[in-house]
Structure 1
Amino acid sequence: MVEEKEYLDRTERAERQGLERLLSYFPAWIRSLITEDVEGTEEVAMDLDRPLVIRRRGEQYLYREVSAADIEYFYNKVGSFRSNGRAGIPGTLHRISVIRDSDDLAIGFTIRFGRAIPGIAKPLQKWISGRDSVLIIGPPGVGKTTLLRGIVEEKAKVLKARLVVVDTSNEIAGDGTVPHPIIGSARRMMVGDPRKQASIIMQAITNHSPETIVVDEIGYHDDVAVLETARRRGVDIVATVHGEDLIDVLENPVLKPLLGYPDLEHGRRLTRPSFRIGIAVLAKGVYKVYPDFTLAIDQALHREDPEGEVVDTRLR
């Protein structure tokens, strides 16, 4: 119990300090607007001589135009961006992306407010606590990565250092060499360039003896090939993919090997899928769990509604 309290205290402290630092990057007038509902703020878009856009609780709000002085102030606060156009704040989950003009000058930013929510995956515990591979499905911005962190949090309590997070662009465990405390005792391997994700996954498998590997946003052929290798070696996978629903994922040609080579035209698959459990993120905090992912795939291939259980954590 003492250990759990210390973990929660560390997480809460990291969240508070990280938010304070991020807010300090904004010009005062933007900072004031954000703090009107800081808990509901999801994203801020700043573009030169264009209206400021703040996305809160799924809605967009427009304000006065962003000036060159606002852009310069924010850029100087951030300091520098990586080659992929992103920057972060060490120890936090917030993500900052830059837009540049043809002369490579910064003319806009997208600031994604990342949050660690301890216990977010507890309502799904009976499906995620075991040694089963899990695929999380959902469109951008719906909360896939937040749920993924929650699953890491739950699994790390059992697997500890045998759980390895392959963290591309530091999306899961935040920026900086020391990962955010939300991942508990799990280990983190950083990936600066998404094109190198597959090689880091292979390093994790061959060098660090994980029981489970966690990956956010698989989508390259090399990712799929190395994850197939992981499953053949007995390593479980927890991963996210983009898609509005299961059919979207089945229609993605890159992912076919992990889904049993589904043939939508003939309504069948050739092999067993690499995942035992599927979770579709329907909205923030609303999930449809497919406890038998193989059955769900077969039903989708037959144009039936896949059997699953809807869990709405907003009601709890």
Structure 2
Amino acid sequence: MTRAPHSPNEKLPDNREELELLLEALPPVIRQRLQDLPDLDDLIEVVLDFGRPAEIRLKTRFERFHDYIVSEDDLRYVSDRISEFGKDNRAGIERTLHRISAIRNRQGRIIGLTCRVGRAIYGTIDIIEDIVESGRSILLLGRPGIGKTTKLREMARLLADRMNKRVVIVDTSNEIAGDGDIPHPAIGSARRMQVVDPSLQHQIMIEAVENHMPEVVVIDEIGTEAEAYAARTIAERGVQLIGTAHGQTLENLMLNPTLCDLIGGIQAVTLSDEEARRRGTQKTVLERKAPPTFDVVIEILDYDRLAVHHDVQQTVDAILRGAAPRPEIRIRGADGQVEVVAAEATKRVEPVVEAPVEPKRRPVASSVVRVFPYGIARTRLERVVRERRLPIAVSSDPESADVILAIRSAMQRKPERFRERLGRSVPVVVVRSNTLSQIAEAMQEILAGQFEQEVEHTNGAMEEVLEAIRVVKSRGKPYDLSPQPSPVRRTQHRAIEQHNLRSESVGKEPRRFVRILPP
């Protein structure tokens, strides 16, 4: 495992010595109980809430001291032995990485403390060392506690000490370089700028570039629109940017209106009829607005497992065009060796092409249903299937699909051409909009098999609709159609609407039917 050299005048910090500094700030009874633990080195945090049992959390377990109720004196004891709390209600112990966060009541009095253990861990970025040294801007994503800040700290040290770059860390809550005016040795010779007020982080980011001429700027927790804009400004000045943001995946970031500018921003674009037909989408589609702020996005899946998007610009464009992202997967094995288990590959979805109508066929009986999205964002469909673990395969070919999932606007514009293109015998489930909830509801309907009867009933039901439309237009009186299942009734409603007539569903299942109303 490769490790970057540290500053020659300082020895690497001892995590056990720093842990003792945190224990000294805890009430004596709790301190003694912690010191008696055989797995003290696995301690993650100590939780002290007024009037409740003290609680400790370790890597594999947690424990409550039911015989020890936290008092105001306990909270005051800890507060007197740490630094002052900032506006973000965080404090620390000088030259350590520990973080103490406060919970206050409405009067501002401290009623709870979370004492989180901070450790300097080395050798965590060998898995992405080549990317760090490439000079490209990197954004880390992952759930809280997965190790984003730890990796940021070591990246700063590697770039400053091994590559001799001018590195400036914008340390909003003193999490990267620890508390106190002297930064923690874990960042090596990188410089640290503290932030007085978290709301001013974006200003300090710009100040770092304008005043200190860094080659690399490191930022933790980019969370506001102003900070995203400041990050873009830094990147446009040719400075390598390394940061973290809220979100676990690149797709999460794309759906976040505040932070999507980090990957270029998203805007609605109106396509020409020819282009929309070629893509098989609606005329209004989403496209990337500008070049991404970050060149590479790394999703931290687990401590030793990462997903790497090497070309954010290409990946975002592909996702917006309906392709599923296939990032590079890197793991660190038990022997410490780094291995790429899956190469990056973003597969494009081919546009829908007109095909001759095939003979009628029933959906293939299978445990997995093949669904072809028409006018539906493929990434959203795949997300619903993935999150709900549905036995559905997203098909790229309408001819091999068991079911077509279409958006209503695509059906309404050219329904005859739609049916010719996809084949009359293929069941079609229509959704009103491209939202996750609509897609999920349609997936449940497909799995419930409610579309199966549509194949048998659609032809006769549509012949009845066309005949009824002629009767209504000639006589000017309502006409009641035969009772049909819900999917067939929806098809009837759409056909009636295409003839500029109104309709309504009447009755109760299973005898519910469509009534055509005169103009």
Q: Same fold (TM over 0.5)?
A: yes
Aligned amino acid, residue 315 of structure 2: A
Aligned CA distance change for structure 1 residues 53 and 260 (closer, same or farther; 3 Å): same
Label 1:230 to 1:23 Cα distance change in 2 as closer, same or farther (>3 A): same
Q: Separation in 1 of the partners of 2:9 and 2:312?
A: 33
Instruction: Sort the Cα spacing of 1:161 and 1:126 in 2 relative to 1 into closer, same or farther, 3 A.
Output: closer
Distance 1:32 1:263 in 2: 58
Q: Tell me the CA shift for residue 57 of structure 1.
A: 1.4
Contact 1:159–1:186 (CA under 8 A) maintained in structure 2: no
- Could you say which residue in structure 1 is the equivalent of 2:69? 66
Q: How many angstroms does 1:191 deviate by? A: 0.8
1:269 CA displacement: 1.6
> Are positions 1:234 and 2:238 aligned together?
yes
1:263-295: per-residue Cα shift (whole Å, max 9, x none)?
599353232212122111112343222222333
Instruction: Pick closer, same or farther for the CA change 1:59–1:135 going to 2, 3 Å.
Output: farther
Matched, 1:295 2:314: yes
For residues 212-234 of structure 1, give each alpha carbon's deviation from its aligned partner in whole angstroms, at most 9, with x where no partner exists: 11000001121111211111111
Q: Render the CA deviation track for 1:144-198: whole Å, top value 9, x for unaligned.
A: 1111112112222245451111111111111111111111111111112111111
The 8 Å contact of residues 260 and 266 in structure 2, kept in 1 or not, is answered as yes
Alpha carbons of 1:188 and 1:22: their partners in 2 closer, same or farther (altered >3 Å)?
A: same
Equivalent pair of 2:87/2:198 in contact (CA under 8 Å) = no
Could you give the per-residue CA deviations for residues 1-35 of structure 1, whole angstroms, max 9, x where no partner exists?
A: xx93765962224x343222111011233224434
Map of 1:262-277 to 2, 5 A cutoff? 262=266, 266=285, 268-277=287-296
Q: SS at 1:12's partner residue? A: coil
Could you tell me which residue of structure 1 aligns to residue 461 of structure 2? Answer: none
Q: Computing the radius of gyration over CA atoms, which structure comes out larger, 1 or 2?
A: 2
Checking the alignment, whether the CA contact within 8 Å between 1:93 and 1:116 is kept in structure 2 is yes
RCO (CA 8 Å, sep 6+): is it higher in 1 or 2? Answer: 1
User: What CA distance in whole angstroms lies between the structure 1 residues aligned with 2:301 and 2:314?
Assistant: 20
For each residue in 1:92-130, what CA deviation from the matched residue of structure 2 results, as whole angstroms up to 9, or x when unmatched?
Answer: 111101122233322210111111112221221111112
1:95 to 91, 99, 110: 99
Mapping 1:1-316, distance limit 5 Å:
4=5, 10-13=11-14, 15-35=15-35, 36=37, 37-57=39-59, 59-64=61-66, 65-68=68-71, 69-78=73-82, 80-160=84-164, 162-262=166-266, 266=285, 268-301=287-320, 302=322, 304-312=324-332, 316=336
Question: 2: distance between equivalents of 1:6 and 1:229?
Answer: 31
The residue type equivalent to 1:281 in the other structure is I
8 A Cα contact 2:13 2:185, kept in partner:
no
The CA distance in 1 between the partners of 2:83 and 2:166, in whole Å, is: 36
* Partner deviation per Cα, 1:37-73 (whole Å, 9 max, x = no partner): 2221112211012132222116433332432143232
Which blocks of at least 5 consecutive residues in structure 1 are unaligned? Answer: none
Give yes or no for contact 2:83–2:94 (8 Å, CA) kept in 1: no
Deviations 1:225-276 (A, max 9, x none): 1211111111111010111222111111112222111359935323221212
Q: 1:219 to 1:79 in 2, by over 3 A?
A: closer
TM-score of the two chains, using structure 2 as the length reference? 0.56
Distance 1:81-1:145 versus aligned 2 partners, 3 A rule: same
Rounded Cα–Cα distance in structure 2 between residues aligned with 1:31 and 1:263: 55
Secondary structure at 1:254 match in 2: coil
CA distance in 2, matches of 1:313, 1:147: 18
SS of 2:169's partner is: strand
How far apart are the structure 1 equivalents of 2:146 and 2:64? 21
Secondary structure of 1:216's counterpart equals strand
Amino acid in the other structure paired with 2:29: W
Native 8 Å contact 2:220 2:244 kept in 1 = yes
Report the CA distance shift for 1:4/1:234 in structure 2 as closer, same or farther (over 3 A): closer
Inter-partner Cα distance in structure 1 for 2:160 and 2:267: 36
Deviation of the 1:310 alpha carbon: 2.6
User: Contact 1:8/1:118 (CA < 8 Å) preserved in 2?
Assistant: no
Deviation at 1:79, TM superposition (A): 6.0
The separation in 1 between residues aligned to 2:166 and 2:6, in whole angstroms, is 23
Is the Cα contact below 8 Å between 2:22 and 2:93 reproduced in 1?
Answer: yes
| Aligned residues of 2:219 and 2:244 also touching (Cα < 8 A) | yes
Q: What is the DSSP-based 3-state SS (H/G/I as helix, E as strand, rest coil) of the residue aligned with 2:299?
A: strand
